[in-house]
Amino acid sequence: MAGVDLTNVGKVYPDGTRAVTDLTLGVADGEFLVLVGPSGCGKTTALRMVAGLEDISEGEVAIGGRVVNRVPARDRDVAMVFQSYALYPHLSVRDNIGFGLSLRKVPKAEIREKVDRAARILGLTEHLGRKPRHLSGGQRQRVAMGRAIVREPQAFLMDEPLSNLDAKLRVQMRAEIARIQRDLGVTTIYVTHDQTEAMTLGDRVAVMKKGELQQVAPPQELYDRPANLFVAGFIGSPAMNLLQGTLSGDAGHPLLEVGGQRLSLPAGTLTERPALASYLGRDVVVGVRPEDMEDAELVETSEGGALTSTAELVEAMGSDVLVHFAVEAAQVVTEDTRELARDAGTDVLGRLESPRTDLVARFNPRTRVKVGDPVTINVDTGRLHFFDIDTGASIWGSDGAGASRRDEE
């Protein structure tokens, strides 16, 4: 097994399309790294450059410390699992799994042993004699995984391997893949556009946008400390609410005004995020996760303050209730939010005549709020996120992770 290192990797297709820009990413030996981002952001291209299926225009790819730019795909010792797992319909599961080994003239007894072992790992033992058409979608995907496993590669490269399965099966196979990868300990790069899949599978998650790496971090860190607006809006469901606000007050008592309403921020806010001090008196982008808002009726003490609005839509999810409402704050329209809206298939309306931003709060199911009701929404202001309105960079401090680009200049 081996780590995989990409250093300043770029890709320009022959027609001039730039698909990947200056991608530097190290995947440790045995690590499960997920590459996530909207359609067209360059995930497949990056993976294919590692696999040797696509020329590397710029930079270097190393596998196990060996630069492989000029090493043909078959000699890179990696196994790729695709979304479409073309199985040979006339071959049994056993022969499908062992096919690559037969091609390479591996002795029959050895193939049998390796296929048996892979089948045990994958729960396919009793299906080895069957033809693919008698298998379920999930079983077929496992056969495709089996092919990769018997090769005992230095790394698995998976490109949306579950996207052809229905939602329930996908969740099941997701758990399987995680278990198999853990058991085998093979370095894995897994591509998906599904942020939930990314969060649940990855030891670390790398978020890409338009060919560029935005952030790479363990899932929880990505969620808690997104480096910029794009990562903030992309990771999490329902997405983080983003709205324009103005910081005021002083370092001891910072205040935030959004849509004519005022929230007070904890005194420690500026100690935790020193860079925020230079934003006092200025507009910022404020991010608030749905779960950091609660029906004020259910909150005993409120330190940060609350927003008032009208419940426009109430969705009971059982475990919680999603309450949609609007505030009179300007909608955040940046290149990042446009990209997020495009990915979500929604429209950014541009700057509206009267400012209005739609928000979603995740209330406790004990809430009695109904559609059309006036609602007071308590905001946990200690958990707000702040971003530079021009660069979209997260505002922290000059030392911490996610330092704003303004500070680095």
List of residues contacting ligand ATP (CB under 6 A):
13, 15, 17, 19, 37, 39-45, 193
- Residue selected from 37, 42, 44, 311 as contacting Mg ion according to rule CB under 5 A: 44
CB of 152 to Mg ion, least distance (A): 26
CB of 60 to ligand ATP, least distance (A): 19
Which residue, 43 or 151, has its beta carbon nearer to ligand ATP?
43
Give the number of other CB atoms < 10 A from CB of residue 166.
10
CA 108 to chain centre: 42
Give the integer Cα–Cα distance in Å for 394 and 277: 14
CB of 19 to ligand ATP, least distance (A): 3
- Partner from Mg ion, ligand ATP, none contacting 15, C-beta within 5 to 8 A by type: ligand ATP
Phi and psi at residue 350, in whole multiples of 5°?
A: 80, -175
Alpha helices in 123-228 (DSSP H): 137-150, 167-184, 195-201, 219-224
Six token digits for residue 233 = 């809006």
Which residue, 41 or 81, has its beta carbon nearer to ligand ATP?
41
Stretch that binds Mg ion, among 41-49, 230-238, 271-279, 323-331 (CB under 5 A): 41-49
Are the C-beta atoms of residues 189 and 80 closer than 8 Å to each other? no
Give the integer Cα–Cα distance in Å for 255 and 264: 4
Give the integer Cα–Cα distance in Å for 9 and 332: 32
One-letter identity of residue 156 = F
Stretch that binds Mg ion, among 43-51, 237-245, 274-282, 376-384 (CB under 5 A): 43-51
- 45 sits near Mg ion (criterion: CB under 5 A): no
Q: What is the 3-state secondary structure (H, E, C) of 4-62?
A: EEEEEEEEECCCCCEEEEEEEEEECCCCEEEEECCCCCCHHHHHHHHHCCCCCCEEEEE
Which residue, 41 or 93, has its beta carbon nearer to Mg ion?
41
Give the SS3 label for residue 250. Answer: coil
Which residue, 260 or 345, has its beta carbon nearer to Mg ion?
345
CB of 222 to Mg ion, least distance (A): 20
Give the SS3 label for residue 105. Answer: coil
Which residue, 212 or 312, has its beta carbon nearer to Mg ion?
212
CB of 159 to Mg ion, least distance (A): 6
Which residue, 78 or 256, has its beta carbon nearer to ligand ATP?
78
CA angle, residues 184, 190, 196, in degrees to nearest 5: 110
How many Cα atoms occupy the beta-carbon half-sphere of 316 within 13 Å? 8
CB of 39 to ligand ATP, least distance (A): 3
Stretch that binds Mg ion, among 39-47, 127-135, 293-301, 377-385 (CB under 5 A): 39-47
Taking CB positions, which residue lies at the least distance from Mg ion? Answer: 44
Which residue, 205 or 293, has its beta carbon nearer to ligand ATP?
205
Are the C-beta atoms of residues 252 and 305 closer than 8 Å to each other? no
- Partner from ligand ATP, Mg ion, none contacting 354, C-beta within 5 to 8 A by type: none
Q: How many residues bind Mg ion (CB under 5 A)?
A: 1
Which residue, 44 or 394, has its beta carbon nearer to ligand ATP?
44
CB of 77 to Mg ion, least distance (A): 23
Which candidate, 176, 189, 193, places its Cα nearest to that of 142?
A: 176
CB of 84 to Mg ion, least distance (A): 12
Query: Where does this chain bind Mg ion (CB under 5 A)?
Result: 44
